[in-house]
Amino acid sequence: MEHSGPSEVPGADASGPDPQLAVTMGFTGFGKKARTFDLEAMFEQTRRTAVERSRKTLEAREKEEEMNREKELRKQIEDVEPTPSSSSAIREHSKPPSRDTSSSDSEDSSDSSDDELIGPPLPPKTVGEPVHTVDEDILGPLPPPLGEEEEEEDDDELEDEGEEENPVQRIPDSHEITLKHGTKTVSALGLDPSGARLVTGGYDYDVKFWDFAGMDASFKAFRSLQPCECHQIKSLQYSNTGDMILVVSGSSQAKVIDRDGFEVMECIKGDQYIVDMANTKGHTAMLHTGSWHPKIKGEFMTCSNDATVRLWEVENPKKHKNVFKPRTMQGKKVIPTTCTYSRDGNLVAAACQNGSIQIWDRNLTVHPKFHYKQAHNPGTDTSCVAFSYDGNVLASRGGDDTLKLWDVRQFNKPLFSASDLPTLFPMTDCCFSPDDKLIVTGTSVQRGCGNGKLVFFERRTFQRVYEIDITDASVVRCLWHPKLNQIMVGTGNGLAKVYYDPNKSQRGAKLCVVKTQRKAKQAETLTQDYIITPHALPMFREPRQRSTRKQLEKDRLDPLKSHKPEPPVAGPGRGGRVGTHGGTLSSYIVKNIALDKTDDSNPREAILRHAKAAEDNPYWVSPAYSKTQPKTMFAQVESDDEESKNEPEWKKRKI
């Protein structure tokens, strides 16, 4: 079937296309013969290609199965210890094969009974193992050595088998980096699901953000904030989508912030005067810890000193979603110290101050599904409960210096228990390794009394298989990220350490270690201060006050800004001071009535100068007493002799 287009276009003659039409239509190529397509030939070619590919795939699959059989046979031979005769036979394989040598070897070997069998002898029988027979089709020496890729696969399988036998080899502790959070205890660690960002919180109220891809060898945090003001940070955890962080502090209100530190929501505070805690909308006492739901976005859980465990939703911060109220066997309130979700999110587990561990179904809040009343010593704060990745095992870190393992399916007694693990912090935690074969926890020490350690236990036997000396302070937090295969540790002296292995770990700390610390260029620092924009010039810019105290002192000297009152008038009012301050009564009196006292040298003479005018024209005192004032009589002054003559007789007598 052929399909051909028109050989000529209307408007074009046989000699060639019409140039006028080409200009009008905007494209050329008129008059060319269209390309012909033979569809049957194309289908036939496609069928042949498919048959060829399927044949190659089948051959490759058959070859792979044959190589796997040869691998299994070789592994079976290597697993059994070779006898002297068999070892000699194996050594003979390096030589060219001959029927005589093989037959003589077969006659010498005690285990071989078939004279016609060519190749290595049969492995000896062992008790409890089935007898392996060699295929009759396989003749001659062992198959040739495998290719490079197959050898690598075989080596990887052998390594995996060795690591399965010894999970300690999977611990990434060959290298470490130290992040300086502060000087006080790092009490919270959080790593997002992708492993790109680490967040740390401490007793200094600070929350710091670390970006592994953006850091260089200086290891500096790119953001620091105090989301809960004056409360210690107790727990930090990224949501399962990595876009929000749950912040639990010593206050009664948990907060949710985004990846950049901005607040998303804050839980409401409850009414402390309501007796039934289920009837109040939020927590009324200090929080202990919190956890995100592993499956449902936006749901998280908190536990508090008000003896409740509450479920919340980010979209509804004004009221909790559910309330779990732990109780003793007698029905009394008991305070939960830690809580967590199971891996599937269907169970809610909490450890309480009376030493009990209680597990609820998430949808049934009344009675716990499991209740073990003396998991740890009463009166000690159980600091952590953590589920394994398979969801069948629960690990609990007790304040009684123990670590215990529980089977959720048979929650009647602990599977294992380890002691001599001192703890001094109410948030010392434990976690499982990514392969679920190890359990990790930290130990605490008094200041100056040794080093805090990270202790590893094997889950199957609960043997103490490995330890890492961290620093000369307590190990409070530990986190083993499954994707990065790196271990994060928070210590009591303000450090956050990251342990990794260049071969076993991925990304994370490996990204920032290789970056050299960027040094500021001298040319940049010199030219940076001389960049001038028009509005930065002094004439356009308002003067910036460098110190408030200096400005207050300057304003104090200004009488208008300081509202300084006028000083009292002292003196006669010279120099125009009275005239300028003419707004008060005192200044008016001084200006109009007071006189200029030019002769202040003798005040008595200044007064007596007005005596003649006052006597002639009395104005103040004399008119007031003119009617009642007696007539003034003055004694005449005489000399002493006249006075003695005129004295009466009785005065002269001496008494």
For 198-240, the three-class secondary structure string (H helix, E strand, C coil) is EEEEECCCCEEEEECCCCCCCCCCCEEECCCCCCCEEEEEECC
pLDDT for 408 beyond 60? yes
pLDDT for 327 beyond 60? yes
pLDDT for 580 beyond 90? no
Q: Rounded to 5 degrees, what angle do the CA atoms 603, 607, 611 make?
A: 160
Give the mean model confidence (pLDDT) for residues 23-28.
63
Give the mean model confidence (pLDDT) for residues 350-375.
87
Q: CA–CA separation, 126 vs 118, rounded Å?
A: 23
Q: CA–CA separation, 531 vs 541, rounded Å?
A: 15
pLDDT at residue 643, as a whole number: 55
Q: pLDDT tier at 115 (50, 70, 90 boundaries)?
A: very low
pLDDT at residue 266, as a whole number: 92
CA quadruple 223, 227, 228, 230: dihedral positive or negative? positive
Is the whole-model pTM more than 0.75?
no
Give the mean model confidence (pLDDT) for residues 440-457.
89
pLDDT at residue 81, as a whole number: 46
pLDDT for 96 beyond 70? no
pLDDT for 509 beyond 50? yes
Counting residues of the chain whose pLDDT is more than 90, the rounded percentage is 26
pLDDT for 309 beyond 70? yes
pLDDT for 338 beyond 90? yes
Q: pLDDT tier at 630 (50, 70, 90 boundaries)?
A: confident
Which residue would you say has higher pLDDT here, 541 or 214?
Answer: 214
Q: pLDDT tier at 208 (50, 70, 90 boundaries)?
A: very high
pLDDT at residue 29, as a whole number: 57
Q: Are strands 384-387 and 393-397 parallel, antiparallel or unpaired?
A: antiparallel
Q: Which tokens sit at 116?
A: 């016609």
pLDDT for 581 beyond 80? no
Q: Which tokens sit at 397?
A: 């870190």
pLDDT for 301 beyond 80? yes
Give the mean model confidence (pLDDT) for residues 395-419.
89
pLDDT in tens, 365-389: 778 888 888 888 888 889 999 999 9
Q: Which tokens sit at 56?
A: 């190659």
**Amino acid found at 291:** S
pLDDT at residue 17, as a whole number: 54
Which residue would you say has higher pLDDT here, 137 or 424?
Answer: 424
Give the mean model confidence (pLDDT) for residues 583-601.
64
Lowest mean pLDDT among 295-299, 397-401, 609-613: 609-613
Q: pLDDT tier at 519 (50, 70, 90 boundaries)?
A: low
Q: CA–CA separation, 260 vs 258, rounded Å?
A: 5
Sheet holding 357-361, edge to edge: 336-341, 347-352, 357-361, 370-372
pLDDT at residue 91, as a whole number: 38
Q: CA–CA separation, 250 vs 229, rounded Å?
A: 10
pLDDT in tens, 143-155: 555 444 444 555 5
pLDDT at residue 215, as a whole number: 85
pLDDT at residue 87, as a whole number: 39
pLDDT in tens, 521-563: 554 445 455 666 666 666 776 666 567 788 888 888 888 888 8
pLDDT at residue 239, as a whole number: 92
Give the mean model confidence (pLDDT) for residues 634-639.
67
pLDDT at residue 33, as a whole number: 54
Give the mean model confidence (pLDDT) for residues 616-627.
81
Residue 589: count of CB within 10 angstroms of its CB? 12
Which residue would you say has higher pLDDT here, 429 or 76?
Answer: 429
pLDDT in tens, 459-492: 888 899 999 998 888 999 999 999 889 999 999 9
pLDDT at residue 80, as a whole number: 53
Question: What average pLDDT does the chain have?
Answer: 77
pLDDT at residue 93, as a whole number: 41
pLDDT in tens, 222-267: 899 998 888 999 999 999 988 999 999 999 999 999 988 899 999 9
Counting residues of the chain whose pLDDT is more than 70, the rounded percentage is 68
pLDDT at residue 623, as a whole number: 80
Give the mean model confidence (pLDDT) for residues 115-130.
46
List the end-to-end C-alpha distance of the chain, in Å, as a whole number.
Answer: 180
Give the mean model confidence (pLDDT) for residues 619-629.
79
Q: pLDDT tier at 570 (50, 70, 90 boundaries)?
A: low
Burial of 556 (0-12, 13-18, 19+ CB in 10 A): exposed
pLDDT at residue 598, as a whole number: 56
CB 350 within 8 A of CB 324: yes
Q: Which tokens sit at 545?
A: 């006050």
pLDDT at residue 594, as a whole number: 59
